Amino acid sequence: PGMVHDACIFRNSRLFKQLQEGTYFPDQKITIGDVEMPIVILGEPAYLLLPGLMKPYTGSLDSSKEQFNYRLIRCRMVVECAFGCLKACWHCLLTRLDLSATNIPIVIAACGVLHNICESKGETCMAGWDIEANRLLADFDSQTPGRLEEHS
């Protein structure tokens, strides 16, 4: 943990290969309101742009690209806070898992399933976690230079 950049790990993953081949989300879409949209994974600027992977624009940006980046980063922060909450509840995810590479995804998925069951039953893992997550989002909003107002 922490010794290899996420983008390097991602480039060496099966997920990367499937996205590159366009086989991870083959023609899957979701309808939000009246808009049909493809399903995508949100990535960091360091990731390669691939089919099924959305990442922020870089370089000189016009206001629409800045707005896109702002919203994309906000979405990524929600995901990161969710993973933080998952790790806070299931401490085995905080350290190296001494398991076979085959079993690690199973353990992570099991933690996710157990977490969702706890959430559906109204159980909370760490008091104040949502307060900390909301504080991080508010800090991000206040520190974003040239932030455009959200439009529905």
Instruction: Give pTM, 2 decimals.
Output: 0.67
Q: What is the mean pLDDT of residues 92-110?
A: 87
> Is the pLDDT at 41 greater than 60, yes or no?
yes
What are the distances in angstroms from CA 73 to CA 48, 52, 112? Answer: 16, 17, 23
Residue 136 banded pLDDT, cuts 50, 70, 90: low
What pLDDT does 110 receive? 95
Q: Are 6 and 16 in contact (CB under 8 A)?
A: no
CA 119 – CA 85 distance, rounded (Å): 11
- Return the pLDDT at 42: 92
pLDDT on residue 2: 61
For the four alpha carbons of 93, 95, 96 and 98, in that order, the dihedral sign comes to: negative
| Strand partners of residue 35 | 32
Q: Which residues pair with 53 in a beta bridge?
A: 41
Question: Residue 44 is which amino acid?
Answer: E
pLDDT > 70: what percent of the chain? 81
Distances (CA, A) of 100 to 71, 106, 107: 37, 10, 11
- How far is Cα 84 from Cα 99, in angstroms, rounded to an integer? 21
What integer pLDDT is reported at residue 149 of this predicted model? 47
- How far apart (Å, rounded) are the C-alpha atoms in residues 43 and 56? 8
Q: Over 70: is that where the pLDDT of 119 sits?
A: yes
Average pLDDT, the chain: 83
Residue 147 is given by DSSP the state P
> Looking at residues 124-142, what average pLDDT do you find?
65
State residue 6's pLDDT score: 81
